[in-house]
Amino acid sequence: MADIDNANGRNNKPQSQIYALRQQIDDINMQLLKLLNQRAEIAAEIGRIKSGMATSQYDPEREGDMLEVLQQANQGPFSNETIGALFKEIFSATLAMNSEKARSALLVERSDEHQRTVITLPDGTKIGDGSFQIISGPCAVESFEQLDEVAAALAKNGMSIMRGMAYKPRTSPYHFQGLGEEGLKIGRRVANKHGLMMVSEILDMSQIPLMSQYVDLFWVGARNMQNSFLLRALGNVRQPVILKRSFGATIEELLYAAEYIVSSGNPNVILMERGIRTFENWTRNTLDISAVPLLKQETHLPVIVDISHSAGRRDIANTLAKVAKASGADGLMVEVHPNPAVAMSDAKQQLSIPEFEDMLAEIDMLPQV
Ligand code: PEP
Ligand code: MN
C-alpha cells in the first residue's frame, strides 16, 4: 500500500506510475495463479479420497461455510456479493476439474484406440473381435415348437447366439409376461439341440441363482439399465452381460451403468443401442446411430444395435441392418418369429424366417467396417 501512496504522489510522471502499478498487479496475478493452482491440487486430493468413498464431489454445505468465513473477513474494496461471485467461480471450476478426473478414471473407458474387449462364449464364439455377430430369436419363448423352428433357421444360417426370453418386462401387467422357468428350460433344450448359445433377460437380482443354470449370457433390458443393485450383482456372475441403453438415458449414463458391472468384477459387458424416445412416432423409438461411433470412441466394450425395438416395424429392418453394419457396430440384434402375425409380443416388428434370411443376404454384401 505504501508504494501505491508514493506512486500517487508522483503526479508529474503518470506513465511511470501506471507502469509501476501494473508491475504490482502482474506480481499479484502470479501469486494468485500459484495460489489457485495450489488450491486446485489440494481440492483434487480431496476429490481422490472422496471417489474412493463413493461420496458426491459436490458439497454445498462446505461451500456455504467457506463463503460465510470469507465474507466475514472481507474488508473491501470488493463487496461481499462480488467476493461471493468470485469464489463461486473458483468452487465450480474445482468441481468441474474433479468430476472430469473422476470420469476419466472409468474402467470401461478406452485408454487407446487399439484397446478392445473381446468376449469369448463357451462355444468359442467371439464378440468384439472385428466380426459382425447377429443375435436373434423371437421376442419371447412361446413354446418348444416355436423356438425350435427359429433355432433351426439360425443354425442353418450360421448364427451362434439365440434369444431365449422367459421373463418379459411388458408395459401392461395384463399382457403376456413370458413362460418363466418353463421358458428357460425350453430355451436351454433348444439351444443345446442346435448348438446355439442362449441369452435371456433378467428382471431382478433374485433371479441370478436360477437363471445362471440356464443361460450363456445375461441380458439387462432398457427398463433396468439404471437398476444399480442388479448391475452390481451381475458383476459376480461368470456369464457375459448384454446391457441395453434405456430409452431415456444418455450415452454417458449407459457407460456409467456398464461401469457398475465392470467395477463389480465382470469385465464381459456388451452394450446395446436400442433407440431412444423422441417426439417422432412413425417409429417406436428413434435409433440413435451416432451412439455407435461415439461409444466405440469412448469405450473398449463391444457395441450391438437392436434394429427391432428401435424401429418397432419390420418394413425398414433391412435398411437399419445395413446402417448398423456400416456404423462400425460389433453386431446387430433382430427378432425373428415363425409366424409374426400371431406373436404374443412385438408382433409388428418381428421378422419371419424368410424375411430374416433376406436381411442376412443384404448385409452380407456390405463389408465389415
Ligand atoms: C428386448 O430386447 O427383449 C426388450 C424387451 O427390449 P428393450 O429392453 O430394449 O425394451
Ligand atoms: Mn421384443
DSSP per-residue letters across 17-81? HHHHHHHHHHHHHHHHHHHHHHHHHHHHHHHHHHHHTT--S--HHHHHHHHHHHHHH--SSS-HH
369 lies in some domain = no
Q: Are residues 214 and 348 in the same domain?
A: yes
Amino acid 286: pLDDT = 98
Three cell numbers at 141? Answer: 419363448
Q: Are residues 174 and 290 in the same domain?
A: yes
Q: Are residues 138 and 19 in the same domain?
A: no
239 lies in some domain = yes
310 lies in some domain = yes
Span 142-147, mean pLDDT? 98
Q: Are residues 98 and 197 in the same domain?
A: no
Hey, whose CA ends up nearest to atom 1 of ligand 1? 221
Site to probe by mutation for ligand 1, drawn from 172, 199, 224, 244 as the one with most ligand atoms within 8 Å of Cβ, is 244
Q: Of 79, 104, 129, which marks where a domain is finished?
A: 104
Among the residue ranges 2-16, 147-161, 212-226, 330-344, the one predicted with the least confidence is 2-16
Q: Are residues 274 and 247 in the same domain?
A: yes
Residue 246 phi/psi, 5° resolution?
Answer: -70, 150
Give the tens place of pLDDT for each residue, 289-323: 999 999 999 999 999 999 999 999 999 999 999 99
CATH of the domain at 53: 1.20.59.10
Q: Are residues 99 and 135 in the same domain?
A: no
Give the tens place of pLDDT for each residue, 68-105: 999 999 999 999 999 999 999 999 999 998 887 776 68
Q: Are residues 155 and 52 in the same domain?
A: no
349 lies in some domain = yes
Q: What is the C-alpha to C-alpha distance for residues 122 and 189, in angstroms, rounded to an integer?
A: 16
pLDDT band at residue 364, thresholds of 50, 70 and 90?
very high
Q: Which atom of ligand 1 is nearest to the CA of 272?
A: 9
Q: Are residues 289 and 335 in the same domain?
A: yes
Q: How big is the CA angle at 334 (ends 332 and 337), to the nearest 5 degrees?
A: 160
Q: Are residues 171 and 319 in the same domain?
A: yes
Q: Which of 59-63, 68-72, 365-369 has the highest mean pLDDT?
A: 68-72
Mean pLDDT of the chain: 94
Give the tens place of pLDDT for each residue, 237-250: 999 999 999 999 99
CA–centroid distance, residue 89 to ligand 2 (Å): 48
110 lies in some domain = no
Q: Is the pLDDT of residue 9 over 80?
A: no
Three cell numbers at 258? Answer: 456398464
Hey, whose CA ends up nearest to atom 10 of ligand 1? 222
Amino acid 368: pLDDT = 79
Q: Are residues 353 and 217 in the same domain?
A: yes
Give the tens place of pLDDT for each residue, 252-263: 999 999 999 999
Q: Are residues 128 and 29 in the same domain?
A: no
Hey, whose CA ends up nearest to atom 5 of ligand 1? 221
Amino acid 271: pLDDT = 99
Among the residue ranges 7-21, 135-149, 351-365, the one predicted with the least confidence is 7-21
Type and span of the H or E element at 198: strand 197-201
> Is the CB–ligand 1 distance for residue 309 below 6 Å?
yes
Q: Of 54, 76, 104, which marks where a domain is finished?
A: 104
Q: Is the pLDDT of residue 232 over 50?
A: yes
Q: For the chain, what is the domain count?
A: 2
Q: Which atom of ligand 1 is nearest to the CA of 169?
A: 5
Three cell numbers at 363? Answer: 448385409
> Is the CB–ligand 1 distance for residue 222 below 6 Å?
yes
Q: Is the pLDDT of residue 2 over 50?
A: no
CA–centroid distance, residue 146 to ligand 2 (Å): 15
Q: Is the pLDDT of residue 39 over 50?
A: yes
Structural domain including 239 reads: 119-364
